[in-house]
Structure 1
Amino acid sequence: MTGPSNKRQKREDYKKAQEHLKARRDCGGSGKIELPKKKFYRQRAHANPFSDHALTYPASPADMDWTCHYPAFANSEAENGQRHSVSREVEIADIGCGFGGLLVALAPLLPETLMLGMELRAQVTDYVVDRIVALRAQNQSASVTNEGKAMLYQNISALRTNTMKFLPNYFRRAQLSKIFLCFPDPHFKQRKHKARIVSAQLNAEYAFVTKPGGLVYTITDVEELHQWMVKHFEGEAAGGAKELWKRVAQEELDADPFVEVMSEETEESKKVTRNGGKKYIAVFQREEDPEWPD
């Protein structure tokens, strides 16, 4: 007599059932559109960014096919003679997007702005992708009674990648207007600090893909990590460049709606609120490129 199925088998059975419902709807059948359940997408809280995860990535931003991520914004070949193109570029990146709470919250606020979640953990990425698919389908069904609602959540997507290695492979120079680093892995042990998502080298890459005047938003519940990120973005750490970033003043943060969304809508932020923890926020603006000396 066989025992109860393990977690992996339950996850596969769940996904097959969801795919069956989707196939029925695509063929004109009926079926309730449900959001994915997190319990079928659980995995370890952290992933080693230095491991070989057998990832696929474009050789350059020009080689990236965005039409599968944002089909509602895809251009036809007749319009511009190019394949795999969309009518606008991705402007906002949520690095380490987790379960996608920030993307989902921002999508209705900026319906014409393309946003991308970037996550290293495979199961978590699958959850975000399935969540977006379900939200798009729910709003497409509701468009009969609410005109224009079908476009909701068409402007967000997610993919699995390692931004510590491949960020410039996705975005050209000065493409992004905003980058979010929400509750990154603190890597408490000193020998693990090299795996932190903020460093002198990585901050230079963020500066490369962010347009002058663009912003990097950071939030954490670990004070030491907050101080680390501030130190590195302000160029006080070894190898840092002070001319790349400047910290945004607190009065400006109080008037920034993105700070409020970041502080309240991510899963980690909600967990910190429930536990009565403190949130440390810092935002940095990309400086104008300095003139080259004669």
Structure 2
Amino acid sequence: MAKRKRSKAQPNASSILPQKRHYRQRAHANPFSDHNLEYPASPDEVDWSVHYPAFAGSGKTPEFADVGCGFGGLLIALAPLYPDTLMLGLEIRVQVSQYVEDRIAALRATSSAPPPQPSADTPGGYQNVSIVRANAMKFLPNYFFKHSLSALFFLFPDPHFKLRKHKARIISPTLLAEYAYVLRPGGIVYTITDVKDLAEWMKAHLSAFPLFETVDAEALRAEGKGPILDAVWASTEEGKKVDRNKGEKWLSCFRRIEPSL
């Protein structure tokens, strides 16, 4: 009688996914410190095939950028919903960025779910998400071409409570020019926080900047962006913590516009 061949066991997601307890680090990092970062001189120098090998040769570049992506909850939530859209997380903390990198690798190794509409351009399996360790306050234009992004996310950023620390807030008049540069007209900036003072700060600065206008959640849902709003509200580590503590959240969104002549 012929011996039955043993099939190789498929990797189990729960057994190879990284554990956060092994990647502990402070909740925030000083963006003005020397973090010994390597970064490209310009977007032309970025080899995106290293980050998205399944899309090599497609000419695609990231369209969604999650600034200060934390443990990657937003990226992981959106990846299967927009399988043909490349997404990049930017995180300055060493251990946290390593966790996200390992998490994506594990999900790619264990995922067998095809994208909703599989094609040569939408391989699925979390192939469309990646992360770089970067200081977005200093090097965002080093990664993204002008008008290359359709969405920028600032989810539960460091509030920098002290007045003398406000210059370190990720939303500031100086930085808004860079965000407008990389975001295409019609693109959306998504912000959310559980700190009311910071929510008012971000809304005031973005509303005052001539290349952004406030857009309400109902209008975005009518445009089909409901899944993004739901992920912004509920998919991040910080957002879930606020829910567990029955805290409040403040969501504000802004559309990149062309200046009127």
TM-score by length of 1: 0.79
Asked if 1 retains the 8 angstrom alpha-carbon contact of 2:52 and 2:129, the reply is yes
Cα distance in structure 2, aligned partners of 1:224 and 1:253: 24
Distance 1:30 1:282, change over 3 A: closer
TM-score by length of 2: 0.88
Q: 2:211 matched to which residue of 1?
A: 244
Cα distance in structure 2, aligned partners of 1:208 and 1:31: 42
> What amino acid is aligned across from residue 67 of structure 2 in structure 1?
I
More displaced stretch, 213-222 vs 252-261: 252-261
1:269 aligns with 2:236: no
Cα distance in structure 1, aligned partners of 2:221 and 2:128: 26
Q: Secondary structure at the match of 2:158?
A: coil
Q: Which has the higher contact order (CA 8 A, sep 6+)?
A: 2
Cα distance in structure 1, aligned partners of 2:12 and 2:187: 41
1:39 aligns with 2:13: no
Distance 1:253 1:68, change over 3 A: same
Q: CA deviation at 1:252?
A: 1.6
Cα distance in structure 1, aligned partners of 2:186 and 2:240: 29
> What amino acid is aligned across from residue 63 of structure 2 in structure 1?
E
> What amino acid is aligned across from residue 61 of structure 2 in structure 1?
E
Give 1:90-129 correspondences, 5 Å limit.
90-129=62-101
Q: Secondary structure at the match of 1:234?
A: helix
Cα distance in structure 2, aligned partners of 1:174 and 1:290: 18
Cα distance in structure 1, aligned partners of 2:217 and 2:46: 37
Q: CA deviation at 1:87?
A: 2.7
Q: CA deviation at 1:259?
A: 1.1
CA deviations 1:62-107 (Å, max 9, x no partner) are 11111110000001xxxxxxxxxx5311100000000000000000
Asked if 2 retains the 8 angstrom alpha-carbon contact of 1:136 and 1:150, the reply is no
Cα distance in structure 1, aligned partners of 2:134 and 2:221: 32
Q: Secondary structure at the match of 1:67?
A: helix
CA deviations 1:193-252 (Å, max 9, x no partner) are 0100000011110000000010000000000000000110011xxxxx3x2100003432
> What amino acid is aligned across from residue 65 of structure 2 in structure 1?
A
Give 1:1-294 correspondences, 5 Å limit.
32-33=12-13, 34-75=16-57, 86-140=58-112, 151-235=124-208, 241=209, 243-253=210-220, 255=222, 256-257=225-226, 258-291=228-261
Q: CA deviation at 1:280?
A: 0.1
Identity among equivalent positions (%) equals 56
Q: Which runs of at least 4 in structure 1 moved beyond 2 Å after TM superposition?
A: 28-33, 147-151, 253-256
Q: 1:9 matched to which residue of 2?
A: none
Q: Secondary structure at the match of 2:49?
A: coil
CA deviations 1:131-155 (Å, max 9, x no partner) are 0000000015x77xxx989622000
Cα RMSD after superposing both structures? 1.9
Cα distance in structure 1, aligned partners of 2:69 and 2:27: 13
Q: Secondary structure at the match of 1:68?
A: helix
> What amino acid is aligned across from residue 123 of structure 1 in structure 2?
Q
Instruction: Give unpaired runs (5+ residues) of structure 1.
Output: 1-27, 76-85, 236-240
> What amino acid is aligned across from residue 117 of structure 1 in structure 2?
G
